Structure 1
Amino acid sequence: MKWVGLTGGIACGKSTVSRKLVERAIPVVDADHIAKEVVKVGSSGLKSIVEEFGPDILLADGNLDRRKLGQKVFGNPDLLHKLEAITHPLIREETRRLRRGYENQGAALVIYDIPLLFETKAEEQFDKIIVISCTREQQRERLRRRNQLSDEEIEMRIASQIPIKFKEEKADFVLYNNKDEQHLLKEIDRLVAWLEELKKN
């Protein structure tokens, strides 16, 4: 089974591309979804985060207040490292379980949507790597619209990741999500054709 990493910069459109791939019957494992699952109410992950960062990072209903936690850790490498030391092992364990499931089903190829592929030095785990790219200004604008973050929060989140140009250089396939939706759909067609060829090799 081909295990293909899908990554890019924050707000470059990984989730949109992943959804379109699923619509084309290409299986996708979503690291962000797993990351939410391992810190849901009642989980050992959430308990560890509260022990490390305090109960004020919880919402009134007991769920994790992601924005408040983000404000604590983005721009603070020590705190970000502490958070990742809690969540990353749990995410890896669940990812392995899902991957084994696809292997047992006889899947030829599975995409793993992983935002921090390069940041976590995970390149060696993949047969191929896809990078979704857009301009820095597009990242800023999409984060403003999507998350309603301040300019300072936006810059901290972008700066916390490896520059997109570095990721492009390391990729086996670069998809450019830097124009309109019609252009994106053409890029996805190009990606699907590439994946179909990859299955044959």
Structure 2
Amino acid sequence: MDRPGLTPPLRAIGLTGGIGSGKSTVAQALVGLGALLVDTDAIARALTLPGGAAMPAIAEAFGPGALTTEGALDREQMRRLAFNDAGAKRRLEAILHPLIGLEAQRQAAAAGHRPVVFDVPLLTESSHWRARVQRVLVVDCREDTQAARVAQRPGWDEAAARRVISQQATRSARRAIADAVIFNDDIGLVALQAEVAAVWTAWCGSAAPGA
């Protein structure tokens, strides 16, 4: 049965936010309300594991220095290369993005009548992804908060976090494409989940049965 009050029914939500914004927490809250989550970052990681579908093309494009000893993409090495060479970043994206799109489409086909949430870190930068979704939800917070959160992750420090933040879309650019913004700064998990539920109710009605 289609969701009430939405013509056409809302079937595709784009979720985005900067590193450390809390986007993954919001994604899981949406799953709890009944969404099918398609996580493009998770897809990219799977594609770049040993034996992943993207690895032959990555090895050809970047050489053995871009691979770990196990044959996966050396993400730290690639992060440094992309920061210093915009062309390298574009070459990597040209390999990954078509494969990510195909796998995202395959996963979304399993949604049935449930809305699909496409978790896309680069949604702001991608006109292709914006054309595929009906609504865009942006998770926002201050850059200082982003950097502090990311610096707590293993293998990261604040300087590395700020370098990544500087390469991503600006907060204002993300907010400009949003149909709704959740400001995830100085609020607890309960309050964050309540904001997610309010957006879901406005866009999709009540939670899906059994969610």
2:204 partner amino acid: E
Percent identity (aligned) = 30
Candidates 35, 43, 50, aligned match of 1:41:
50
**Residue of structure 1 in register with 2:78 after alignment:** 69
Q: Secondary structure at 2:28's aligned position in 1? A: helix
> Deviation string for 1:56-108 (max 9, x for gaps)?
22223222221121111124211100110110010011112222332xx3x24
- The equivalent of 2:139 in structure 1 is 132
Instruction: Answer yes or no: is the 8 Å Cα contact 2:50–2:72 preserved in 1.
Output: yes
Partner of 1:52: 61
Residue-by-residue CA offset, 1:115-144 (whole Å, 9 max, x unaligned): 100112232221111000010101110111
Question: Higher mean Cα deviation, 67-76 or 109-118?
Answer: 67-76
Unmatched segments (≥5 aa) in structure 1: none
Q: Secondary structure at the match of 1:111?
A: strand
Indicate whether 1:115 and 2:124 are aligned: no
Q: What is the CA distance between 1:150 and its match in structure 2?
A: 4.0
Question: In terms of mean alpha carbon deviation, does 20-29 or 108-117 score higher?
Answer: 20-29
Q: Report the Cα distance in structure 2 between the residues aligned to 1:45 and 1:198, rounded to whole angstroms.
A: 39
Tell me, yes or no, if structure 1 residue 97 matches structure 2 residue 106. Answer: yes
Tell me if structure 1 keeps the 8 A contact 2:136–2:179.
Answer: yes
CA contact (8 A) 2:36 2:114 kept: no
Q: Distance in 1 between matches of 2:83 and 2:132?
A: 26
Preserved CA contact (<8 Å) 1:14 1:132 = yes
After TM superposition, the score normalised by the length of structure 1 is 0.88
Give 1:184-199 correspondences, 5 Å limit.
Answer: 184-197=192-205
d(CA) in 1 for partners of 2:23 and 2:149?
12
With normalisation by structure 2, the TM-score equals 0.84
Q: CA RMSD in A?
A: 2.0
Give the Cα–Cα distance (whole angstroms) in 2 for the partners of residues 164 and 75 of structure 1: 22
Question: Which sections of structure 2, spanning at least 5 residues, go unmatched?
Answer: 1-8
Q: Deviations over 1:34-72 (max 9, x none)?
A: 111222222331111121122122223222221121111
In structure 2, C-alpha distance between the alignment counterparts of 1:133 and 1:44, rounded to whole Å: 33
Q: Which has the higher helix share?
A: 1
Q: Detail structure 1 runs of 4+ shifted over 4 Å in the superposition.
A: none
3-state SS in 1 of match to 2:131: helix
2:97 alignment partner in structure 1: 88
Partner of 2:88: 79
Query: Would the alpha carbon gap of residues 146 and 155 (structure 1) be closer, same or farther in structure 2, given more than 3 Å must change?
Result: same
SS of equivalent to 1:28? strand
